[in-house]
Amino acid sequence: MEIKYFDAHTHAHFPAYGDEKESVIQRAVDMGVGIITVGTSKSTSAEAVLLAEKYENMWAAIGLYPGHTVPSARDEDEYGISEKKDIIPAEPFDYESFKKLAESKKVVAVGECGLDLSYGEIEIQKVEFIKQIEFANEIERPLMIHCRDLYKELAKLLEVHGTKKSPVIHSFRGTIEEAKIFLDLGCYFTFGGVITFPPKKNGVVYADVINEIPIQYLLSETDAPWVAPVPYRGKRNEPAYVVEVVKKLAEIKNVSVETMREQILENTKNAFGIKF
Ligand SMILES: [Zn+2]
């Protein structure tokens, strides 16, 4: 298939899709959407690799989500419905298991990993993230970073530990000043459905931040099954909807959809070393 669009951060392997998984992926194939399906723990990373091995248009990211470095409430979209207790225990980064998963040629990034203020236990999160910075450097893949409200701490860790490949910051929510710090560190930025929503009062004005980022550092994502873009807002999200994100990025950057689409493909190849 010819890849025309790219969803650089999605969770196509999650139980949220139930027995519709194949039709969801087929819709992406029909639209020419390439996909990086992203793991959040040892088990969901293994599932991401398994699915990516099955589809020509799919690659995988493997890593430990900051929310899983501490005990967390079960998310049924992520772990499926269960009779068992609804708390997922804390998981330390299991180097040996991830190292084994990374033998797959389909593994193109380490993540989603990072720091998130809402989960607390920041010191534990940092320890597990540093392990993954080192792992990404060892296997020479970029980091796929999730960060909420701890951008200063994130920048410091990236600076101190160094990154062999330019990191990718997923669903960036920082300020223009913070974006500049990460540009200096060579980072790429992915944006998803939220940029199609009207700006919140006192919230991030995505258009302003995106305008400050050179077009060569922009990537598109859905973070499906969550945060569907307009006109699907409120519905279950899926990779095919990334087309709406690309349209919005083109509008903000004041270029044609065609120019933005092709630029994003180029950026995706550069960021992840994917050939298509
Ligand atoms: Zn995600």
Q: Residue 12: which of 79, 43, 58, 73 has the closest Cα?
A: 58
Gap from CA of 38 to ligand 1 centroid (Å): 6
pLDDT tens readout for residues 103-146? 999 999 999 999 999 999 999 999 999 999 999 999 999 999 99
Is 98 within 8 Å of 43 (Cβ atoms)? no
Gap from CA of 8 to ligand 1 centroid (Å): 10
Rounded to 5 degrees, φ, ψ at 273 are 65, 25
Gap from CA of 12 to ligand 1 centroid (Å): 10
Tokens of 195: 């940029």
Gap from CA of 65 to ligand 1 centroid (Å): 9
Query: What is the residue type of 66?
Result: P
Gap from CA of 225 to ligand 1 centroid (Å): 9
pTM metric for this prediction: 0.95
pLDDT tens readout for residues 175-227? 999 999 999 999 999 999 999 999 888 888 999 999 999 999 999 999 999 99
Tokens of 149: 């409200």
Gap from CA of 223 to ligand 1 centroid (Å): 5
Gap from CA of 221 to ligand 1 centroid (Å): 9
Identify the H or E element spanning 156.
Answer: helix 151-161
- Radius of gyration, alpha carbons of the chain: 17
Is 171 within 8 Å of 194 (Cβ atoms)? yes
Gap from CA of 177 to ligand 1 centroid (Å): 24
- The model's confidence at residue 77, banded by pLDDT at 50, 70 and 90, is confident
Gap from CA of 10 to ligand 1 centroid (Å): 6
